[in-house]
């Protein structure tokens, strides 16, 4: 299967915070196909442990997250339309006039669109469109009234996930899809597991994916407590700013070196290791100063403190239906993750932990 075909398959899966099962089942099936035995934490995170034969080997965790941003039904109106609360961060400007799927408790998939006032209905009113609150955006399945909505099994608490086709850009270099945050990481950890098949390493690796990252980095707190790593590497996607006149995150410029975000500062030992490994492995990197966080922000505060970082790529317009990202960036990051996983040993882990 080509890289694009793998990306298309995993990005078109629909799974939001607290509703990660479709992606978890995909990951579980692939882990088993590769000969691994998946383990689960109490919230639904999924991981494989590759045990080192070295005595007292350091434990190193590589973790993606399975959830994409979505919504939850908060109320059903008398006219049969739906209102929601957000699961993860959304810019209200990108929500209207899009396709979604609502998943009912009994497994039905209900198509929805988000609506707004057409210009015809604004004429003569003396008003101009304003930025709506998420709670005011209309989700419409074409139902007659509240009773018909309920006849289809739709209830408060049901989740709503974007629906988008994944395609290549005209130049063949980039992809347009939803959910590269963070199906990038989910595909990366599966590719890493395939690469590591049969290899003996001086560290014990814990590789997998967390839940509920988009709603407060919740899954990482649970998984790092359970698996107790010495180091933690979040595999995650960050927003590119290059089309908004900002060089902080450029498509095609390589792996993001996330030196700072509001919940995490890269420690000097980790910084030196990452830069040295990138240079030795000829990995293209770019400095990145983030305004949002990743699971590294939660992991580094567990178990007395776990040196952590993020091995990331950037993508344009994340947390929307139409993200654009680079195939070359994925391949570059893949080579970097492989180099990190195979080069770590007790000495390097100790140097990283020496601040």
Please enumerate, by residue number, every residue annotated as part of a binding site: 65, 181, 214, 236, 319
Cis status of the peptide bond prior to 275, with omega within 30 of 0: no
The structure tokens 């995150």 sit at 249
Element (H, E) at 289: strand 285-289
CA distance 112 to 11: 19
CA distance 64 to 294: 10
Contact between residue 115 and residue 140 where contact means Cβ atoms under 8 Å apart: yes
Contact between residue 312 and residue 255 where contact means Cβ atoms under 8 Å apart: yes
Tokens at 45, concatenated: 């995170």
CA distance 320 to 162: 8
Q: DSSP letter at 201?
A: -
- Of 33, 213, 279, 280, the active-site residue reads 213
Query: Closest Cα partner for 350 from 52, 55, 60, 48?
Result: 60
Contact between residue 7 and residue 331 where contact means Cβ atoms under 8 Å apart: no
Binding site for Zn(2+): which residues?
65, 181, 214, 236, 319
Determine the number of helices (DSSP H) and then strands (DSSP E) in the chain. 9, 18
Active site residue 165: no
The structure tokens 């408790």 sit at 105
- Half-sphere CA count of 347, side-chain side, radius 13 A: 1
Residue 63, φ and ψ in degrees, nearest 5: -135, 125
Query: Closest Cα partner for 299 from 329, 330, 261?
Result: 261
User: Taking the CA atoms of the chain, what radius of gyration do you get in angstroms?
Assistant: 21
Query: Closest Cα partner for 309 from 317, 318, 301, 300?
Result: 300
Q: Which residues are known catalytic residues? A: 213
């Amino acid at each position: 299967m080509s890289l694009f075909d793998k990306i298309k398959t995993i990005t078109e899966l629909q799974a939001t915070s607290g509703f990660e099962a479709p992606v978890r089942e995909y990951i579980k099936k692939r882990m088993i196909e590769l000969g691994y035995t998946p383990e689960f934490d109490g919230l639904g995170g999924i991981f494989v442990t590759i045990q080192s034969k070295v005595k007292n080997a350091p434990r190193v965790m590589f973790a993606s997250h399975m959830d994409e941003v979505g919504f939850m039904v908060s109320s059903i109106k008398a006219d049969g339309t739906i209102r929601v609360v957000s699961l993860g961060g959304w810019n209200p400007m990108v929500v209207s006039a899009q396709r979604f799927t609502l998943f009912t408790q009994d497994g039905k998939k209900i198509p929805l669109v988000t609506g707004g006032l057409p210009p015809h209905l604004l004429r003569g009113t003396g008003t101009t469109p304003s930025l709506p609150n998420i709670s005011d955006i209309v989700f419409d399945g074409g139902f007659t009234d509240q009773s018909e909505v309920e006849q289809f099994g739709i209830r408060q608490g049901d989740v709503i996930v974007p629906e988008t086709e994944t395609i290549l850009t005209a130049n063949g270099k980039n992809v347009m899809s939803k959910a590269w945050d963070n199906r990038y990481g989910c595909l990366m950890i599966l590719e890493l597991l395939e690469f590591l098949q049969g290899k003996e390493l001086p560290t014990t690796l814990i590789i997998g994916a967390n839940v509920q990252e988009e709603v407060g980095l919740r899954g990482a707190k649970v998984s790092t407590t359970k698996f107790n790593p010495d180091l933690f590497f979040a595999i995650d996607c960050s927003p590119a700013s290059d089309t908004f006149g900002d060089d902080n995150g450029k498509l095609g410029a390589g792996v993001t070196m996330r030196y700072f975000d509001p919940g995490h500062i890269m420690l000097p030992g980790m910084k030196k290791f990452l830069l040295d490994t990138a240079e030795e492995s000829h990995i293209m990197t770019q400095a990145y100063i983030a305004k949002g966080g990743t699971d590294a922000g939660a992991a580094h505060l567990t178990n007395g403190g776990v040196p952590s970082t993020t091995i990331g790529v950037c993508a344009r317009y994340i947390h929307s239906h139409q993200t654009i990202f680079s195939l070359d960036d994925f391949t570059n990051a893949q080579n970097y993750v492989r180099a990190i996983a195979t080069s770590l040993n007790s000495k390097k882990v100790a140097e990283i932990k020496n601040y």
